[in-house]
Structures are given as C-alpha cells and as structure tokens.
Structure 1
Amino acid sequence: MDSRIATIGPAWLDRHEYPFASKWAAVSGGRLHYVDEGSGSPTLLVHGTPTWSFEYRHVIRAVSDSNRCVAPDHLGFGLSDRPRAASYAPEAHADRLREFVNAVGLDRFAMVVHDFGGPIGLPLALEGRVTRLVILNSWMWPFDDDREMANRARFAAGAMGRWMYRHLNASLRLIMPSAYGRRANLTKAIHRQYLEPFRDRDARVLVLWALARALLGSSAFYRDLYAHAERLRAIPTKIIWGMKDSAFRPYQLERWRKLLPEATVLTLEHAGHWPHEEAPAEVAEAIASFVA
C-alpha cells in the first residue's frame, strides 16, 4: 500500500531543495520511498551510491513539467527502509527495482541511470521495457580487464576499506567530495542531505560497504549483463559524462561509445562524477528534452 506524506519528513530534510510529496511501495524486504511527480509518459530515475533520489531533484523538476517522473530510493538508502536481513548487493537491488516498477504501474518508460544505477537499472532495459535511456557516469561490465578499478575495488573490499567505511564514513566524506570536478560545488548544505541517512556506523557497513564489496564480488552479475549489452543498441540513448570524474574516467566513456555508437554524447569538461549536481540546469534540460 502506498501512502502520501506531503511535507512530513526527518528534521534534516531540506524541503526547499526537495519539495516533493513522499510515497512508499512495498517490495521484498521492506518499503521503498519514492517521489512520483507530473503526468504523461513516465521516466524512471535510478540513483547509485552513496546517494538517494535527492540527487535527481533538478531533473525531477524539469521532467515533471511535461511528463511523469518516478524516482525511488533503493532499500537502505535515503528515506527507504533498512532491514538488517536484506541483501544490498546490486543484483538484489535490481530485483527489487523490478518489483517496484510493477508495483507503481510502470510498463514501458524512459530511464536515467547513474553510478550503481547502471547495473541496477539496465536489466530492465535488456528486458525491453525501456523506451529511451540516459546514462550518467555509470557502467555495466566486470572490471576483470581494468587494473585501476580492480585495485581500488580490492582495497575498498578489504579490512582497511571496511574500517574506513565504518569509522570515517569514507564513501560520503572522502570519496564523494573527491569525485566532484570542483569540490566547492558540494556545499555543506547539500552534502548534509547525503550524510544524514548514514550517520549510523552499522548502516554504512550494511549498505554502503556492501556495494563497495560488490564492485568485484558481483562480477558474475555484471558479466551476464554485459553479455547481452548489444540489446541496448535498439534503445535511443543519450550519454552525459562529467569528464573530471575520479571514479569513472574518460576511458570508461569510450567503452560506452564503442558499445553504443549511435548514442548521442554530452561531455561536461568541468564536472565530475555527479554532472547533474555540478551542471544542474544544463543536465536537467538535456534529460527533459531527450525523454519528452
């Protein structure tokens, strides 16, 4: 059952930045929080780690002017439930996302994916449910042949990585700021909206470190996705890429270009891993016009 909560939320939630009504949908393991704004052809926004639907607030405003825009928080993230017994591997998130789109009545839809939102959301595209696709600094392949990514992932998955996630909140306090093209673009007020859901140390290990481990630990899942990647060529696709991303570098963009040669590409030279945060007006308009 869904329930609408127009203005109530945690005390830290900035309703000026995120003025949308909250809704909830039941999936395996708990309830997903989501926003559902506008009407018309639907667009699904799939976030990554360590964020939540707040990262899409500018896109939601732009898209919902003329279309329906649906943005869930994955289980464990944002305002969604965080059960200890759930799996927080990307393949489990992908299964729950499929449950979610069925629960909210999405049959065929445009989709925007960012970061881990790629491997979480792209199974729906491979199943033929996505009419138009936007990719923001993301991936869908294993890192077997990428020594740089594999080495970083191996460190994050180890004992020191776990300690850093738990005690230093590494994902949010260290990695996130360093992945911006210009650190000053991540203001204290906006950063707080991402920090607050993970004040609890156990939650950082349960949810965030689970995805850090999954960079290599879910390689079989990525390998299966990538084996069917050519199916994406049938979907009109736009790639928007922040070129100063310290996590997903330009060579990852080139891999997408080779995989999807017909895709249109917008590069943002001064943006990092979150181009929709660092160039919000440009990215939101580019997405809204593409999915319209």
Structure 2
Amino acid sequence: MTTDRIDPAAHRTPAWHETTVDGARLCYAAAGSGDPLVLLHGWPQSHLAWREQIGPLSDGRRVLAPDWLGWGASARDTALPCDYDSEVDRLARMLDALELDRVDLACHDYGGFLGLGLAQRYPDRVRRLAILNSRAHGTFVARYALLFGAFTTAARHGLGRRLVAAPPIHAVHHWGLHRYVRNGTFTPERLEQYLDMLRTPEGRRWYAHFWAGYQVRVRPELGARLGEIDCPTTVVWGIRDPAIPMATAVELAREIPNAELVRIDADHFLMEQRPEEVTEALRRWLRRPAR
C-alpha cells in the first residue's frame, strides 16, 4: 500500500474561489482546513493585503480572505447599496454564502468598520474579533475627515459625481498613497494593483457609487454597544497611522470586555509593513479560548 504525501507548503498556498452574494460575484482566497478564519481587507485594497498572513495562519485553520464586493476581482455592482447597514448585513450574507456559521474575524480599515457592526448585530456569528487600524466607531483625524467628507459630498451630486468618476482620480490616489511606496509598505506594482480599477470607466463609476453611500461621521451607536462584545478581542494597531487617532484603539481596548491592545511600530497598512509582527499578534489572539 502506498500513501500520498501532502506537501505542507502546497497546503498553505491559497486557492481561488468564487461565490455569489446579493446576486454579485464575490471572489476569495482560501487555504488550510479547520475552524474558519475570515480576513477582511479595507480601502483601497483586496485580499492581497493579507498575503503574508494567509499561509502562516492556515496551519490548523481554514483561512478565507475575500475581495469585498466592489474591490479586487469581485463584482462592482452599482445596484447594490453601500450604506453602512446594507454593507454589514451583506457581510452576514457572505458568511451564509460561504456556509460559515461562526468565524474568527480579523478586519482592517473599512473591513474593521463593517466587522465591528457584524460583531454587534450578529454576535453569534463571531467567535473571536480582531480589529486593525480601523475608524471603527469613531472617525478620522480632522484633515482626513474633511478629505473623505469632500468625496462623499461630491459623489452625491451630479457634477461632483462626474468628477469623482473622471480619469484623473487614478492619478490623485496614486499621488496620495505614494508615501507607502516610499516607506516600503507597497511595491509600485502592488499599489498599481490596488488602484487599477480606477483606470476603467466601470471601476470609477463604482468608486463614485461607493463614496455616495459612505458616511464619515462618528457612529455613537456603535460606541455605545462596545461593552456588549463578549468574544475574545484584540486591537492590533500601527501607532504611526496619520489618518486614525490612537485614541480609537485605546477606547476599543478599554470599552470592549476581554479586549487587549497590541501596539506595532507601523503606519496604517500594518499587515504589509510589519507582516511578521501582525501574524504573531493574530496567532496569540487565536490561541485565546473562545466563548
């Protein structure tokens, strides 16, 4: 009798899958087996934001890293509303489509904004929660709040919407995010992968649609319910984030029972700038007993 040998490295290599959520194509990378761990990216990224974590965390876990609808390779369907409540409920329906009952959820940036809402609205779906550099229940520092607020205001009106969807928007974002090439977080090729959708009319139309549904304001209703989150929680934070105040991380760790705060010497996109430290923080979090 012969026994096939499984290559551990191959087991950790993500496979590409597709499913349908709200009638739209959702693409995701998956690796490993075991209890499910969902990694949710933020703006303006894709599952590639987690590329350094997917393999290591798939040892003993089934890791799923979606391209959230509108981003990466997933569909950009302007028929889908992008307001907060719709997006949080859509996240729950994504879990249904993936046939996942309860998951460990690690989420960054916009993903953390949605993930916080999921943990509050659907507490039985989240076994453990990790939030990484996200506006969460708060908002951005003043200059970024004004910048993003200008995008939302423009995208809700005819002329402004056309400006947000115009070809120069790619160059604007490339200039704004080039600091992450200079500090080594992104390669030029990776930044272009994230921004490539802004080179197409379809991608720009969806981008304007996204901003039209987004709200920059503080969400006091989310802050008021932080104490209701009773799953093991970690707040992993790049302390040099120029857009989101450290006070947000401190408040999350203080107000969520059973939460810890892990500080990392990094900027906003910490999974790519400090991958080993983020991976180790998440491994410690996953070792904590679940409720």
Does the CA contact (< 8 Å) of 1:25 and 1:31 recur in 2?
A: yes
Deviation, 1:182, is: 5.6
Answering whether residue 78 of structure 2 is matched by residue 84 of structure 1, we say yes
Answering whether residue 285 of structure 2 is matched by residue 290 of structure 1, we say yes
Does the CA contact (< 8 Å) of 2:253 and 2:260 recur in 1?
A: no
- Give the letter for the 2:183 counterpart: R
Does the CA contact (< 8 Å) of 2:14 and 2:54 recur in 1?
A: no
Does the CA contact (< 8 Å) of 1:182 and 1:272 recur in 2?
A: no
Match of 1:277 in 2: 272
Quickly say closer, same or farther: Cα 1:203–1:272, change in 2 above 3 A.
Answer: same
Return 5+ residue gaps in structure 2 as ranges: 1-11
Quickly say closer, same or farther: Cα 1:103–1:148, change in 2 above 3 A.
Answer: same
Counting only pairs closer than 5 Å after superposition, residues 183-262 of structure 1 correspond to structure 2 as: 183-207=183-207, 210-211=210-211, 214-216=214-216, 219=217, 222-232=219-229, 234-260=230-256, 262=258
Number of positions where the alignment pairs a residue of Structure 1 with one of Structure 2 = 268
Equivalent position SS for 1:97: helix
- Give the letter for the 2:241 counterpart: D
Equivalent position SS for 1:26: strand
Quickly say closer, same or farther: Cα 1:171–1:101, change in 2 above 3 A.
Answer: farther
Does the CA contact (< 8 Å) of 1:59 and 1:288 recur in 2?
A: no
Does the CA contact (< 8 Å) of 1:79 and 1:197 recur in 2?
A: no
Measured in 2, the distance between the counterparts of 1:240 and 1:205 equals 33
Measured in 2, the distance between the counterparts of 1:268 and 1:78 equals 27
Counting only pairs closer than 5 Å after superposition, residues 171-186 of structure 1 correspond to structure 2 as: 172-178=173-179, 180=180, 183-186=183-186
Equivalent position SS for 2:20: strand
Does the CA contact (< 8 Å) of 2:37 and 2:105 recur in 1?
A: yes
Match of 1:70 in 2: 64
Match of 1:98 in 2: 92
- Give the letter for the 1:206 counterpart: W
Answering whether residue 31 of structure 2 is matched by residue 37 of structure 1, we say yes
* Structure 1 consecutive aligned stretches of length 4 or more whose deviation exceeds 6 Å: none
Return 5+ residue gaps in structure 1 as ranges: 1-17
Quickly say closer, same or farther: Cα 1:69–1:195, change in 2 above 3 A.
Answer: same
Counting only pairs closer than 5 Å after superposition, residues 16-165 of structure 1 correspond to structure 2 as: 20-126=14-120, 127-128=122-123, 129-143=125-139, 147-148=142-143, 150-159=145-154, 163=163
Measured in 2, the distance between the counterparts of 1:175 and 1:72 equals 25
Which range moves more in the overlay, 45-54 or 184-193? 184-193
Does the CA contact (< 8 Å) of 1:33 and 1:73 recur in 2?
A: yes
Quickly say closer, same or farther: Cα 1:29–1:211, change in 2 above 3 A.
Answer: farther
Measured in 1, the distance between the counterparts of 2:13 and 2:87 equals 26
Deviation, 1:283, is: 0.9
Length-normalised TM-score, structure 2: 0.80
Tell me the alpha carbon deviations over residues 186-221 of structure 1, each in whole angstroms, 9 at most, x when there is no partner: 2112223212233214523423662476133xx59x
Does the CA contact (< 8 Å) of 2:81 and 2:213 recur in 1?
A: no
Quickly say closer, same or farther: Cα 1:191–1:106, change in 2 above 3 A.
Answer: same
Measured in 1, the distance between the counterparts of 2:170 and 2:213 equals 15
Quickly say closer, same or farther: Cα 1:227–1:33, change in 2 above 3 A.
Answer: same
